[in-house]
């Protein structure tokens, strides 16, 4: 079997780009340990494909109105309507209920550790339905396009051309303040490459869940030799700038792999039980392990990225979404329990994002098509939970929330406002907000109050 460096790095436990840390032997790391009192972490969970949040958060009241209540929801949703008897009514807000696959989230909401935010989407400025219908005001680039809307949620510039994400730009601003002697970048991805993680001067470290302590190799004694050979090759100068830059990226990957591997081996395993055969749970468990060794890594601020797909349910939506959400609830609940075990529940805030929601009206394949504004979850000890923030849309085709007659909701809260609220809690100064979120000053409300 020939050695392929790119293939190796893809399956190695860590990959990094650009950020050159001050690297020291692990025994010296403890001298960099910071007090946990000022530690904070953000954990983004991205639902790729466009989660149908009309079935995430469902009206539960008994109104017979044409625009409110479960009966109206069921009438418009048709074959996609969830039976009322299956829904999980929310204790603090009994007019709404959650998807039946999310009992753990209902429990966390009822206990005040999860909040929900309604009808969030990409916006450049406040926009009325009349303005949208008349072509007035600015709208984000290529609404309803998966790649564009994924980019715009992650870069918070409402254009798909930005090369940086809002987590990366936060890292650009805050690394020198909070993590000046850190051994890894401020941003870590457990779901491969994403624009969310990339800054102008800093780049993420990426981890392969479950394999933080070593590369993927199945050739026994030959593995060590192959690894040594690969690392030796990286020291050669090619004279080509692009090749040398790639060598630097690969070299950083090996260094971060050793640093994190040593750190994780130095502590007792987490006792929290994460569900097996659950890819999202594996990512969140890996993130919890890295949080566990935060002091050894010399970090006081961290941002993490996890992902799950495919929520692009143009057909057979009920079964597909139910299966995906049945992974989400146990994974998020276990992660919250892990933060409690580590004593950082109040210092770690997790939140969901997705390309967009989906139309309330079903299509002909028992699925739903691309839409705009949707509902999201925020979890953590610092979250002011047990509440639904934002404005729930009016469930009426061609009504005041609908932009095209199929139940595509015009967002009433911007994804930028959502992200800026999280960034403010994380420690981003007000003066830096317009740099990280270029359109934030277009909105009168910059902090939504859920954390």
pLDDT digits (tens, 9 = 90+) for 143-172: 999 999 999 999 999 887 889 999 999 999
Q: Provide the pLDDT confidence category of residue 26 given band limits of 50, 70 and 90.
A: very low
Distances (CA, A) of 355 to 4, 169, 389: 34, 20, 20
Q: Provide the pLDDT confidence category of residue 238 given band limits of 50, 70 and 90.
A: low
Rounded Cα–Cα distance for residues 210 and 212 (Å): 6
How confident is the model at residue 440, as a pLDDT? Answer: 97
Q: Any idea which residue has 């690394």 for tokens? A: 175
Rounded Cα–Cα distance for residues 41 and 380 (Å): 10
Phi/psi at 43 (5° precision): -125, 110
Burial of 83 (0-12, 13-18, 19+ CB in 10 A): exposed
Mean pLDDT of all residues in 347-362: 98
- If you average pLDDT over every residue of the chain, what do you get? 87
Which residues are within 8 A (CB) of 218 and not within 5 positions of it... i.e. 6 or more apart? Answer: none
Nearest CA to 191 among 264, 282, 300? 282
Q: Provide the pLDDT confidence category of residue 394 given band limits of 50, 70 and 90.
A: very high
How confident is the model at residue 256, as a pLDDT? Answer: 80
Cβ neighbours, 10 Å, residue 186? 27
**Angle at CA 399, nearest 5°, toward 124 and 149?**
30
Q: Provide the pLDDT confidence category of residue 136 given band limits of 50, 70 and 90.
A: very high
Q: Which of the 8 DSSP states describes residue 210?
A: T
Which residues are within 8 A (CB) of 391 and not within 5 positions of it... i.e. 6 or more apart? Answer: 118, 119, 412, 413
Q: Which of the 8 DSSP states describes residue 83?
A: P
Q: Provide the pLDDT confidence category of residue 3 given band limits of 50, 70 and 90.
A: very low
Asked if the model's pLDDT at residue 451 lies above 90, the reply is yes
How confident is the model at residue 235, as a pLDDT? Answer: 53
How confident is the model at residue 215, as a pLDDT? Answer: 44
User: Cis omega before residue 310 (within 30°)?
Assistant: yes
Q: Answer with the residue of higher pLDDT: 252 or 142.
A: 142
Q: Provide the pLDDT confidence category of residue 327 given band limits of 50, 70 and 90.
A: very high
Question: What is residue 274's three-state secondary structure?
Answer: coil
Cβ neighbours, 10 Å, residue 396? 17
**DSSP symbols for 142-175:** TTT-HHHHHHHHHHSSSSTT-S--HHHHHHHHHH
Q: Answer with the residue of higher pLDDT: 29 or 184.
A: 184
For 41-212+275-442, CATH number?
3.40.720
Q: For the chain, report the end-to-end CA distance as a whole number of angstroms.
A: 52
Which residues are within 8 A (CB) of 236 and not within 5 positions of it... i.e. 6 or more apart? Answer: none
What is this structure's pTM? 0.87
């Amino acid at each position: 079997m020939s050695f392929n460096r790119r293939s190796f790095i893809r399956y190695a436990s860590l990959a990094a780009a650009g950020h050159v840390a001050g690297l020291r032997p692990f025994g010296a790391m403890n001298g960099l340990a910071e007090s946990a009192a000022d530690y904070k972490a953000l954990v983004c969970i991205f639902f790729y494909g466009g989660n149908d949040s009309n079935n995430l958060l469902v009206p539960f009241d008994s109104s017979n109105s044409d625009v409110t209540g479960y009966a109206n929801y069921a009438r418009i949703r048709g074959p996609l309507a969830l039976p009322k008897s299956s829904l999980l009514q929310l204790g603090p807000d009994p007019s709404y209920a959650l998807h039946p696959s999310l009992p753990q989230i209902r429990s966390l909401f009822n206990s005040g550790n999860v909040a929900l935010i309604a009808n969030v989407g990409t916006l450049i400025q406040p926009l009325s339905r009349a303005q949208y219908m008349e072509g007035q005001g600015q709208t984000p680039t290529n609404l309803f396009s998966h790649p564009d809307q994924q980019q715009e949620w992650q870069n918070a510039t409402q254009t798909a051309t930005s090369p940086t994400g809002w987590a990366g730009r936060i890292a650009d601003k805050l690394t020198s303040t909070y993590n000046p002697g850190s051994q890894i970048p401020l941003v870590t991805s457990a779901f491969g490459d994403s624009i969310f993680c990339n800054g102008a001067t800093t780049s993420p470290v990426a981890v392969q869940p479950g394999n933080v302590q070593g590369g993927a190799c199945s050739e026994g004694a030959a593995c060590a030799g192959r690894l040594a050979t690969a690392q030796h090759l990286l020291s050669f100068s090619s004279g080509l700038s692009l090749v040398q830059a790639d060598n630097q990226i690969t070299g950083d990957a090996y260094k971060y792999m050793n640093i994190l591997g040593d750190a994780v081996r130095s502590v007792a395993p987490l006792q929290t039980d994460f569900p097996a055969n659950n890819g999202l749970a594996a990512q969140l468990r890996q993130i919890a392990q890295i949080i566990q060794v935060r002091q050894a890594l010399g970090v006081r601020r961290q941002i993490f990225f996890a992902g799950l797909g495919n929520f692009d349910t143009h057909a057979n939506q009920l079964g597909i979404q139910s299966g995906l959400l049945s992974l989400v609830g146990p994974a998020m609940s276990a992660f919250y329990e892990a933060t409690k075990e580590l004593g950082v529940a109040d210092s770690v805030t997790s939140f969901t994002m997705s390309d967009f929601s989906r139309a309330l009206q079903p299509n002909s394949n028992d699925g739903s098509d691309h839409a705009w504004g949707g509902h999201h979850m925020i979890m953590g000890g610092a979250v002011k939970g047990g509440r639904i923030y934002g404005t729930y849309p009016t469930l009426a085709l061609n009504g005041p929330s609908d932009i095209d007659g199929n139940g595509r909701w015009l967002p009433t809260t911007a994804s930028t406002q959502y992200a800026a609220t999280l960034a403010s809690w994380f420690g981003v100064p007000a003066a830096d907000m317009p740099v990280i979120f270029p359109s934030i000053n277009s909105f009168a409300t910059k902090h939504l109050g859920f954390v």
